[in-house]
Structure formats: C-alpha cells, structure tokens
Amino acid sequence: MTRSNRPVVAVDLGGTKYIAAVIGPGGKVLSRVYCPTLSHEGPAKIIERLVTSVNQAVKKAGLKLRDTGGVGVAVAGIIDIKRGLITEAPNLPRWRNILLRDLLKDEFKIPVFVLNDASAAALGEHRLGAGRGLDNLIYMTVSTGIGGGMIINGELYNGTDGSAAEVGHMIIQVDGPLCHCGQYGCLEAMASGTAIARMAEERLRSGWMSMLSRMVKKGKPNITAEDVAAAAVKGDALASQVIDDAAAYLGVGMANLVNLFNPQMIVVGGGVSAMGERLLRPARKSLKLHAFKLPAGTVRVVRSALGADSGLMGAAIYARQQAGGKP
C-alpha cells in the first residue's frame, strides 16, 4: 500500500478541547481520542499532550505512525498554510508564530499538514457532508466566534497565504461593539454565541423582564447562548428578540457572501447552529432582503451534516490530498 492510500491521522485543535483520530478512506473512523486543551498552559504543554494523544489514537487503531499517510491538523487561527505557521489564534493564548507543522513533523517523522479549522470543515462538508456534489459552497461556523471556509469550483480556496474566508470579521456595523480582533462591528461581534449572550445581558440591565433574570447574580452576568436558546423555546420575549436580532445580522453577513461569491449553498455549523430553524429561518429572511434576487434565489442555507466532525474529516481529507491520494 502506498502512503497516499493509507489511513491518515486527523487532529481538530480548539480552545476548549481537541480530538485526535485515525481515519481511513471514505471517512471511516478507526479510532478517536478526546483531550481537554487546557489552553492557559501555553503552546509547549499543549503540543506535548497532542503528540501523546496522536500516538494513543494510532495505537488504538492497531497501527504504527509509519503505517499512516500523514497527519492533518485543523486549528482555529490565522495560518500561513505554506509554512504550517500559526501566526495567531485568539482562542489559544500565546500561540503566535508557532511553526506547528515542523514541530510535529520532527516528532512524528511523517508528513504533517496544517490548515484553518473552518476551512477544514468546509472541505469535510463538501466531500462527505451536506455539500457533496456541489461546486461552490461556503461553510460558516457559528460558535463562540464565527469562522468560515470556501469551496470554489470544487476546490478548497485558501487565498494567497492560507488565511482566506475569515467571514466572522466582515464589518457589519461600523460603530458596532468591539470584537476580539480589535475592530468594531464585526459579524462575530454581532451574531456569535458570545454576541447573543452579551445582547441578552445588556437588555436585562436595561430593564427587560425575562426568565433569564435569575441567572444574573450580584450584578454579574452568567448567561450563555445556550441559555438564551432554551429561554426562547419556552417563549421568553427577550430571548426570542435577541436570537432574531443575531440571526438578522448573520443574514446580512450571508448576503454579502452571496453577492460576492454566488454560492450554491451556505452550510452552517458550530454550537449555535444547534438552534436549527429558530436561527436559520430569520437568517434566510435577512439574506433574501439584503442580497441580489438572482443569487439569493439560488443559494440554500442548511445545517452541517457532519456536525462536530466536519473539521476532523476535512483535516483527514486535506492530509490525504497533500500526500497525493484520492480525496
């Protein structure tokens, strides 16, 4: 068996947890290991644990590293894809200018490939999920932040450096709230899970009545997007309005993307997508209101088919592609 046809190792590295898995052709998961990231410990400790987890996953699959075709690592951050360099990662403190590819290649002695996690998810959904058979799609992950990945003419679009499709940092409202990136009014600051929680907290402080009020203790908010979603299901007016407002902003972001790229599909993943149609229905309405009629009538907005595995599958596909194998 040539290296390009062997199982590959895939890693999805996030700020809260990471997953290491061995994945065969067609997306068959041969093994999987979960581990908390403990991001406050810094890059060296995280990489050390990641190496251990990869070795555990390979052993669990009944293989040795030399039996695999390579390692694909999906990371939430701005990545110089040609160098395998993480230039910055907002959810991973002190991860600046980390040559992750070379560090892992020195440990594993096999090819290692690094890409953005949302780009990996776009690739996963295109080849194995909701976007199978399509030529042009955009993936949006709506969670603590908002990220994106793009498939153009059947291929993952990385841009010049590998940092394309940072859709969460489109400016939606120039005088809007401060985003973690340092700009104001980014889509991430208007429609992410963090934004949903913030908007609910702001309205509670301004005097809105809500079942969420009991979650505010000693003047400090203790609300999550999940709490807001649960309250909306129970008919809470504040929670319902917050979700409608966030969805409207999300739809504006989608409209910008539709006008620019005319995709066949926008796939929405991430934790906030668990709201399903409660989020997507008003987002579609906003999209159609703000986008040109022709591309707005073409595009479909759907939830991720692979869920939390989108990035993992995309990392595996990317590693196999880069190693010269079939997708």
pLDDT at 181: 84
Measured N-to-C along each axis, helices 100-108 and 43-60 cross at an angle, to the nearest 10 degrees, of 40
251: Cα separation from own chain's centroid: 18
pLDDT exceeds cutoff 70 at 327: no
pLDDT at 265: 98
Judge if 77 and 148 occupy the same domain.
Answer: no
The neighbouring-strand residues paired with 116 are 75
Judge if 141 and 244 occupy the same domain.
Answer: yes
User: What band does 64 get if pLDDT is binned at 50, 70 and 90?
Assistant: very high
pLDDT exceeds cutoff 60 at 168: yes
Compute the distance between CA of residue 123 and CA of residue 262 in angstroms, rounded to an integer. 18
pLDDT at 219: 55
pLDDT at 72: 97
* Region of residue 28 (left: phi > 0; alpha: psi -120 to 50; beta: else): beta
Judge if 101 and 201 occupy the same domain.
Answer: no
Judge if 60 and 164 occupy the same domain.
Answer: no
Judge if 46 and 144 occupy the same domain.
Answer: no
pLDDT exceeds cutoff 80 at 296: yes
Q: Is residue 166 situated within a structural domain?
A: yes
Which domain CATH number covers 200?
A: 3.30.420.40
Using DSSP's 3-state secondary structure scheme, residue 313 falls into: helix
pLDDT at 15: 84
User: What band does 221 get if pLDDT is binned at 50, 70 and 90?
Assistant: low
Encoding tokens for residue 249? 């902003």
Compute the distance between CA of residue 170 and CA of residue 188 in angstroms, rounded to an integer. 8
Q: Which H/E stretch holds residue 120?
A: helix 117-128
DSSP states of 242-294: HHHHHHHHHHHHHHHHHHHH--SEEEEESGGGGGTHHHHHHHHHHHHHHS-HH
Residue 294, burial from CB neighbour count under 10 angstroms (0-12, 13-18, 19+): exposed
Judge if 253 and 314 occupy the same domain.
Answer: no
The neighbouring-strand residues paired with 88 are 78
User: What band does 204 get if pLDDT is binned at 50, 70 and 90?
Assistant: very high
Mean pLDDT (whole number) for 51-57: 97
Beta-sheet strand order (sheet of 112-116): 29-36, 17-23, 8-13, 71-75, 112-116
For residues 74-83, one letter each, b for 16 or more C-beta atoms within 10 angstroms of the residue's C-beta and e for the rest, the string is bbbbbbbbeb
CB 203 within 8 A of CB 234: no
Judge if 153 and 41 occupy the same domain.
Answer: no
Q: Is residue 178 situated within a structural domain?
A: yes
CB 10 within 8 A of CB 313: yes
Most confident of the following: 176-185, 206-215, 267-276: 267-276
pLDDT at 216: 64
User: What band does 133 get if pLDDT is binned at 50, 70 and 90?
Assistant: very high
pLDDT at 53: 97
Q: Is residue 327 situated within a structural domain?
A: no
Compute the distance between CA of residue 318 and CA of residue 119 in angstroms, rounded to an integer. 10
Judge if 140 and 270 occupy the same domain.
Answer: yes
Judge if 152 and 293 occupy the same domain.
Answer: yes
How many folded domains does the chain comprise? 2
- Residue the block writes with tokens 């479909």: 300
Q: What is the pLDDT of residues 247-262, one digit of tens each?
A: 999 999 999 999 999 9
CB 71 within 8 A of CB 91: no
Lowest mean pLDDT among 51-60, 90-99, 294-303, 307-316: 90-99
Q: Is residue 165 situated within a structural domain?
A: yes
User: How many CA within 13 A on the CB side of residue 274?
Assistant: 14
Judge if 97 and 204 occupy the same domain.
Answer: no
Q: Is residue 162 situated within a structural domain?
A: yes
Residue 81, domain extent? 3-123+309-322
Instruction: Report the chain's mean pLDDT, rounded to a whole number.
Output: 93
pLDDT at 218: 46
Q: Is residue 155 situated within a structural domain?
A: yes
Q: Is residue 171 situated within a structural domain?
A: yes
pLDDT at 90: 77
In residues, how long is the chain? 327
Mean pLDDT (whole number) for 290-308: 97
Judge if 297 and 153 occupy the same domain.
Answer: yes
Q: Enter the pTM of the model.
A: 0.92
Compute the distance between CA of residue 199 and CA of residue 310 in angstroms, rounded to an integer. 29
- Residue 162's CB: how many other CB atoms inside 10 A? 19
Encoding tokens for residue 234? 């129970």
Mean pLDDT (whole number) for 80-94: 89
Judge if 117 and 24 occupy the same domain.
Answer: yes
- Residue 123's CB: how many other CB atoms inside 10 A? 31
For residue 8, give Cα distances in angstroms to 23, 151, 264, 296. 5, 22, 30, 38
Q: Is residue 246 situated within a structural domain?
A: yes
